Amino acid sequence: MFSWLFSLKSQPFSKIVNEQDLQEAYTFIIIWQADIIIGSMYSRIVKQFIYGFGYLSIMASLLVGGYFIFAYSRVSCFDNLKNQNEEEIDCGGGCISCALKNLAPLRVLPMKIFNAEGSTTVFVQIQNSNLEYAAKSFSYQFNLYNDQGIKIFTFDDQRLVYAGDTVSFTLPVLEATFSKIARSELLISQVDWTPKDTFSKPETAFSNLTSKVDKSSLVVEGDILNNNLYSLGEVIINALLISPNGFFVNASKTNLDNLSPLGSKHFKLFIPVSGSGKFTIDNVRLFVEAWR
């Protein structure tokens, strides 16, 4: 249609045949310019589409990531909801066992502090009310403070307590002046829980118990029996002396090593006493700590 335009170079402008051809030339130029404009607009639209798609992709990634971090991750063992295959809220199934999650903390019973001729003896009891789990070990720190709140004594050690049991032990002859003590505390940490089936309490018993007063002490002696088919590497016998009126008088302990299976060992311990009180073996409560 516009083939004549290619011959314009060989013809003077005055030889253009008629006005219709000139109009067609203008139309061609307008269409050509429109193509350029449309092409430029198309290019911008494509760029905008690409930029928009990229922006939407980034936003979608952030939203999905945020969902998995803040929403999906909440479907967990710590979302305070009963979901997944949990037996109770956040326990059982793939989470921690409900028995372990709901364990009651070890409880320190009121401590008994005695004057041991100027120094101090403390009788401690820690109760485990959980019937299915034993604390195979735990750390504790015992502190004494004066009336100004200053720590005057501290002692760190480890203990164990069996399922549904109370461990009783004596801290004898502490290097703290009894008259300066205003407050005591015992802090428990690092409890290692284990099912009672894997950590059962050894069976022990006493026989031939006797007592006698020797100067300023009540001497208690007898035999401890190991009623198990395994040996006990260490046995601690703790004694608490109670007056006929029900008052706590003093405490003491003694240690034994290597108690053989179904075997026995003789022991002797000394409980400090003062005054002219008459005490017998009936006034003594014995508590055993035994380790395999």
Rounded distance, CA 292 to CA 204, Å?
A: 12
Q: How far apart are CA 173 and CA 239, in angstroms?
A: 14
Strands 151-161 and 166-174: unpaired
Which amino acid is it at 52?
G
Which residue, among 110, 142, 107, has the nearest Cα to 128 in the 3D structure?
107
Map out the domains of the chain with their CATH numbers. Answer: 3-71 (no CATH), 105-198 (2.60.40.3230), 204-291 (2.60.40.10)
Q: Give dist(CA 39, CA 45) in Å, integer.
A: 10
State the pLDDT at residue 51.
67
What is the structure's pLDDT at 109? 96
List the chain pLDDT tens, one digit each, 292 residues: 444 444 444 445 444 445 665 565 556 555 556 555 556 665 666 666 676 666 777 877 777 666 556 555 456 787 888 887 777 888 888 888 888 888 999 999 999 999 877 778 999 999 999 999 999 999 999 999 999 999 999 999 999 999 999 999 999 878 888 889 999 999 999 999 999 999 999 999 999 999 998 888 899 999 999 999 999 999 999 999 999 889 999 999 999 999 999 999 999 999 988 765 688 999 999 999 998 8
* Contact between residue 154 and residue 185 where contact means Cβ atoms under 8 Å apart: no
Buried b (16+ CB within 10 A) or exposed e, 171-210: bbebebebeebeebebebeebebeebeebebbebeeeeee
The residue behind tokens 């008088």 is 249
Position 9 scores a pLDDT of 46
166: CB partners within 8 A, 6+ apart: 109, 125, 126, 127, 128
pLDDT value, residue 34: 54
pTM, rounded to two decimals? 0.69
Q: CA-CA distance, 169 to 161, in Å (whole number)?
A: 11
pLDDT at site 14: 45
Query: How far does the chain reach from its first CA to its final CA, in angstroms?
Result: 110
pLDDT at 15: 45
